[in-house]
Amino acid sequence: MIRAVKGTRDILPPSSEVWNRVEDASRRVFRTYNYREIRTPILEQTALFARGVGQETDIVSKEMYTFEDRDGSSLTLRPEATASVMRAYIEHRLDQQPGIQKLYYIGPMFRRERPQKGRYRQFFQIGAEAIGGESPAVDAEVIEMVIEILKAAGLEDFHLLLNSVGDPNCRPAYMAALKERLKDAAPRMCGDCQRRADTNPLRVLDCKVSADQPVIEALPSILDYLCGECRAHFDRVCAYLTGRGVPFEVKPRLVRGLDYYRRTTFEIVHGSLGAQNSVLGGGRYDGLAQALDAKIQAPGIGFSIGEDRLVMSVGEEGTLAVDLFVAPIGEAAFRHASLLAMELRRLGVSVELPPEGKLKRLLELANKLGARQTLILGDDEIQSGNYTLREMASGSQRTVTRDELISIWKKA
């Protein structure tokens, strides 16, 4: 049997209904913040991610779906979308457009990781980028918006974590201080941390081993090393959020894996997700355009929601219910019903019109499909012009004319 490839999956109804609700809610909120959709290719030149995301990151070094095209060029299935959006921004000179470019996307991404809960090889992200502005006001609006999206999607009990990772002026000093302290501290920590102290010192801050927590608490905080500009930026982001009533927790140990992050970083966590408790991550990436060799300035901030995780967290069941089930008894009734169904569908009613059959069969099917109402159409009804409309929940029936039926749905 041919099956879906490892780490990919089919999203079937009724679960696909939940996905649609989440996406519809997102689009509504994006629209109210004047974000417009951008659709970029799923395939990009490998160099885009190697430069944009960072050659040394795990994503690029071991988790990308990369292959050689027939002409020998190297292509990659996008592992994230920010680099693509920035590429499009540069390629189409969107810096020449008025104001800040506010763009959103919804679509599949690919990473060749070992699958686990909330982590797939083809996964979906809902994300947005605001490019062309450095003001902390933009950061605050982006963060406020993403929270509105999560609420609109039906997520509850989530928690916003906020930090600044500085910029090339101040981060090196912090990194040096951190490494210095780790020389003493690391030997008292877990095996992973001893290794990370060399390979990826920032990761030590994220260690979950409880015995290490006191040591981590004592490590230097990046917030104490921010330069004046980064400090001012961070303070204003916090002030704006507080002013808007957006609750957040400053978490100096919130680190980011991607090279292009500058200053603001944030994350939203939700308890239902096990080890993959992060439902969304984002931050400012003023250095990205430069990393892509662009000649233009393109400071930006964005986020991306792990849609698979969001859907899992809202935990709702989809429904298969149909508004009206039409039960035609006999061929003549079916022909009559098909015209009626077309008219109702044009009014926006969801109508199920099965092939003609025995009434018992048809009602059974209507019940299984969760139909709210069933219209019974046989020779009697066609001749008299009085249709039988059955309320499935109660079983009560009444007689309606064709015009009455149409007007019921016109009003609704």
Task: List residues binding RNA (CB under 7 A).
Answer: 3, 5-7, 57-59, 111, 113-120, 123, 125, 192, 196, 199-200, 203, 206-208, 255-258, 267, 274-276, 278-281, 304-306, 308-309, 329, 358-361, 363-364, 366-368, 376, 378-381, 388, 390, 392-395, 397
Give dist(CA 233, CA 401) in Å, integer: 67
Give dist(CA 345, CA 379) in Å, integer: 23
For the bound state, the minimum distance from the C-beta of residue 24 to RNA, rounded and expressed in Å, comes to 20
For the bound state, the minimum distance from the C-beta of residue 236 to RNA, rounded and expressed in Å, comes to 24
For the bound state, the minimum distance from the C-beta of residue 366 to RNA, rounded and expressed in Å, comes to 7
Closer residue to RNA in complex, CB, 40/278: 278
User: Is residue 362 classed as helix, strand or coil in its secondary structure?
Assistant: helix
Closer residue to RNA in complex, CB, 66/236: 66
User: Is residue 280 classed as helix, strand or coil in its secondary structure?
Assistant: strand
Give dist(CA 380, CA 376) in Å, integer: 10
**384 contacts 402 by C-beta, under 8 angstroms:** no
Closer residue to RNA in complex, CB, 348/370: 370
For the bound state, the minimum distance from the C-beta of residue 321 to RNA, rounded and expressed in Å, comes to 11
DSSP code, position 17: H
For the bound state, the minimum distance from the C-beta of residue 339 to RNA, rounded and expressed in Å, comes to 18
Closer residue to RNA in complex, CB, 2/218: 2
Closer residue to RNA in complex, CB, 181/231: 181
For the bound state, the minimum distance from the C-beta of residue 347 to RNA, rounded and expressed in Å, comes to 24
120 token code pair: 């797939």
Closer residue to RNA in complex, CB, 94/125: 125
- The full DSSP string for 320-345 is ---SEEEEE-SHHHHHHHHHHHHHHH
Closer residue to RNA in complex, CB, 48/227: 48
DSSP code, position 79: S
For the bound state, the minimum distance from the C-beta of residue 73 to RNA, rounded and expressed in Å, comes to 24
65 token code pair: 């779906």
Beta strand residue intervals within 24-183, DSSP E: 36-37, 43-45, 65-68, 74-77, 101-110, 122-131, 158-164
17 token code pair: 């209904």
Closest to 309 in 3D by CA, of 120, 165, 140, 151: 120
93 token code pair: 């000179």
Q: Burial level of 257, CB count in 10 A (0-12/13-18/19+)?
A: middle
